[in-house]
Structure 1
Amino acid sequence: MLLKPSFAAILASLASVQVVNAWFRLACATPLVQERVDPIIAPGQISQHLHSIHGGSNFSKDMTYNTARQSSCTSCAIAQDLSNYWTPTLYFKDPTTGQFEKVPNGGLLVYYQNRGSADASNGGKGLKAFPPGFRMISGDPRKRSKKYAEGQGSQGELAERAIKSTCLRYGTGVSGYDYYGFPTTDCEAGLNTRLHMPACWDGVNLDSPDHKSHTAYLSMVDNGDCPSTHPIPLMKLFYEITWDISAFSSRWKGKPWPFVWSNSDPTGFGWHGDFFNGWDTTVLQNAIDKCNSTPDQMAGKSEACPYFTILPSSTFSACRAKTTEIVEPINGPMARLPGCNPLQYGPGDATLYSTSSCPI
């Protein structure tokens, strides 16, 4: 089954109170590499859990903006973007054997959106390209439950609202549905997971000790205003991945939900995403400012922006990481998840174990 990201999700996101403005789609193929490396959370170290990584070939635990810009290829479709994008990997836990197997997906789709009251089309001062060295995350790998009342509006609640998924069941005679955390039924047309990144920056720090406080979410997550503490408006990123969970349906029919994220999460609330900027910043700023007028540009067609070089799928699909920094079994069947990740069901926050503190 070849899965493609669902445009229904983005169309719902684009239906907003404010004017729908320019945006473009960035298609990323099968992962550049899948390994326990995270240069934002664990620079210079082996990461706690497995990630599926897309983007520039120089991805590494010690990467910088300069090394990203020296990548020889990218696994995404725009040549001037040598950024890296990564999320946890989904696994199936066989209810009979207890073994873990990696779940296939249709690749990552990243939407770059001109959103918010600061966008020039809304009468604002205009959005800014990500500065060199900038990185950010959305979500929390420790989360195992929903914590905030819907619509409260705090940054914590906005962060929670930023991560939501859809059980795709088109053509089966059974309606699909949106949810926080994991669903409970098979998703015959795929499990569509998606997240919004923060789109407001403090204008000073390229990162922060918690990797979050230098950024903030728009007041409506996918649109709205930046808080006064984070006055620099950025283009908003929206990630989407569709996973082929139905390939395992015959092996868990009538049994509890058997899928888990690689960060020891059987609830779904701990899904998260990372972004490490590797753009040619002049190109991105030109795209923000000038690729916002023709019908094709307004329809999100990246090939309609003359500042981009669009790579053939055969080219970006062939890109692989320059190095693999930890070699270990990741496909399965395996008795345990890569790293030290015993399943933690919550509802309290999970403990992120290191190999030195592993309880199993």
Structure 2
Amino acid sequence: MKWLSLSLALAAPAQAALRFGCSTVSIQRLDPLVEPGKIPSAHLHQIVGGNGFNATMDPNDGDLAEKATCTTCTFSEDFSNYWTAVMFFRHQNGTYKRVPIVQNDALPQGINGGMTIYYTQQDFFSNGNQRITAFPKGFRMTVGNPTATSRWGQGLKFVCLQNRSTRFPELDDFPTQRCPAGIMTVHHFPACWDGKNLDSPDHQSHMYNTVNGAFVNAGPCPASHPVRMPQVAYETLWDTTQFNNMWPSDGSQPFLLSYDDRRGYGTHADYVFGWEGDSLQRAMDSNCMFNACENGRPLRSQGVAQMNACRVRSSVQEDIDGWLPRLPGM
């Protein structure tokens, strides 16, 4: 009986979760999923991850982990790319200024901008008693829709930060008041895969969303998308505080996303898988949580200086800093 209990314990699915920072690898108008090969793309993106990022990123060109030579992420085996639309401030005089991003309080100090990336299983503490399958090579997906004019989808939120650890309440559109520590955008991706397609024409149909917000899973995967994969989420903290004394005299909300979205309903994010070998599967099969997964337990990790040193040269030569007369691409 003792050996049977031990065997069952070993066979039980592991409970693991990753939370890590990625510094900025590039800020430019490229979108290899929605507008592959187009230089420049329609609007500006904030990009983190491996330096294999480029305008095309054709999945037939080979393994992204083999093409990249460095990554801006904590885990040095993660050459994936993660990107979102950039946030801007609109001054009363009609000019625009890019809002910089800052790191989450839970991350090591000194990260150059970047995002907080999560790979959870069912929630922070459970995998729902099932094995979690890592994304295969060539996998990619998006969440959200930049053309949306009303609330669209689950798990796409804004948070008015009281400090850099604030997580609630989650809002469907931009906060309407000055936020003491900035604005956070939150993007939760779907976690149920059809088990066949690495992508789909809309970059979403091969996945099914069971997300119920705030890292709480809403239910089991349906028969059409039976494979449970990691729950990917991005948190991006925008330092809007430097504009708090420039709010319009009429009190209107002055922030917008780079495709001229003043409500935030079109908030969206893109993901291209690029973990080296079986590293992500090893992590999902382990029992490590957050930074306990670093230093070879089971994932290799790197310091902030190495993360910040990895960059991609811009393919688009345009001014994205300073006070601009219009949004880039608009």
- So what's the TM-score if we normalise by structure 1? 0.77
Q: Which residue of 1 aligns with 2:144?
A: 139
Q: Identify the residue that residue 192 of structure 1 maps to in structure 2.
A: 184
Matched residue of 1:91: which SS? Answer: strand
- Counterpart of 2:303 in structure 1 is 312
Residues 227 and 220 (structure 1 numbering): CA distance in 2 closer, same or farther, change over 3 Å? farther
- 1:84 corresponds to which of 81, 84, 89: 81
- Aligned counterpart, 1:246: 241
Q: From 261, 269, 272, give the equivalent of 1:273.
A: 269
CA distance 1:44–1:143, shift in 2 (3 Å): same
> 2: CA distance between counterparts of 1:166 and 1:308?
31
Match of residue 5 from structure 1: none
Could you tell me how far 1:136 is from its partner in structure 2? 0.5
SS in 2 for 1:32: strand
Counterpart check, 1:109 vs 2:99: no
* Paired residue secondary structure (1:315): helix
Is the 1:168–1:187 contact (alpha carbons within 8 Å) kept by the matching residues of 2? yes
1:152 counterpart residue number: none
Give the letter for the 2:278 counterpart.
T
In structure 2, do the counterparts of structure 1 residues 41 and 200 end up closer, same or farther at CA, with 3 Å as the change threshold? same
Q: 1:40 aligns with which of 33, 58, 66?
A: 33
Quick one: which amino acid aligns to residue 321 of structure 2? N
Other-structure match for 1:355 = none
Q: Distance in 2 between matches of 1:54 and 1:43?
A: 18
- In the other structure, the counterpart of 2:7 is none
CA contact (8 A) 1:219 1:227 kept: no
Letter in 2 for 1:334: L
Residue 154 of structure 2 contacts residue 212 of structure 2 at CA under 8 Å; is this kept in 1? no
Q: SS of the residue aligned with 2:294?
A: helix
- Equivalent residue for 1:347? none
Output the TM-score relative to the length of structure 2: 0.84
Query: 1: distance between equivalents of 2:274 and 2:83?
Result: 13
Identity of aligned residues (%): 37
1:169 match: secondary structure: coil
The number of equivalent residue pairs is 296
What is the identity, as a one-letter code, of the residue corresponding to 2:47? Answer: I
Structure 1 residues 288 and 245 mapped into 2: Cα distance closer, same or farther (>3 Å)? same
Distance 1:93 1:328 in 2: 19
CA contact (8 A) 1:131 1:281 kept: no
Task: Specify the alignment match of 2:48 in structure 1.
Answer: 54
CA distance in 2, matches of 1:299, 1:99: 41
Contact 1:71 1:82 in 2 (8 A): yes
C-alpha deviation, 1:234, in angstroms: 0.5
Tell me the CA shift for residue 330 of structure 1. Answer: 1.0
Q: Secondary structure at the match of 1:325?
A: coil
Structure 1 letter corresponding to 2:117: V
Query: Gapped runs of 5+ residues in structure 1?
Result: 1-19, 148-159, 341-360
State the Cα distance separating 1:121 from its structure 2 match: 4.8
Structure 1 residue 253 displacement after superposition: 5.5
CA contact (8 A) 1:28 1:54 kept: yes
Amino acid at match of 2:18: F
Superposed CA deviations along residues 72-101 of structure 1, whole A, max 9, x for unmatched, are 111111111100000000001101x21010
What is the letter of the counterpart of residue 306 of structure 2?
A: T
Distance in 2 separating the partners of 1:122 and 1:324? 42
User: Is structure 2 residue 240 aligned with structure 1 residue 234?
Assistant: no
For the residues of structure 1 that align with 2:170 and 2:211, how far apart are their CA atoms? 21
Partner Cα distance (2:201, 2:119) in 1: 26
> For residue 28 of structure 1, what is the amino acid of its counterpart?
C
Task: Note if contact 1:219-1:226 (Cα within 8 Å) is conserved in structure 2.
Answer: no
User: Which AA in structure 1 matches 2:293?
Assistant: S
C-alpha distance in 1 between matches for 2:73 and 2:211 = 30
Aligned equivalents of 2:154 and 2:272: distance in 1?
Answer: 22
1:166 equivalenced with 2:159 (yes/no) = yes
> C-alpha distance in 1, partners of 2:211/2:181?
32
CA contact (8 A) 2:121 2:128 kept: no
Unaligned runs of 5+ in 2: 1-13, 103-113
Instruction: State the alpha-carbon separation in 1 of the partners of residues 136 and 230 from structure 2.
Output: 12
Partner in structure 2 of residue 28 of structure 1? 22
What one-letter code is carried by the residue in structure 2 that aligns with 1:325? S
CA positional deviation for 1:122? 3.0
| Residue type of the alignment partner of 2:122 | R
Q: Does residue 1:331 correspond to 2:328, yes or no?
A: no
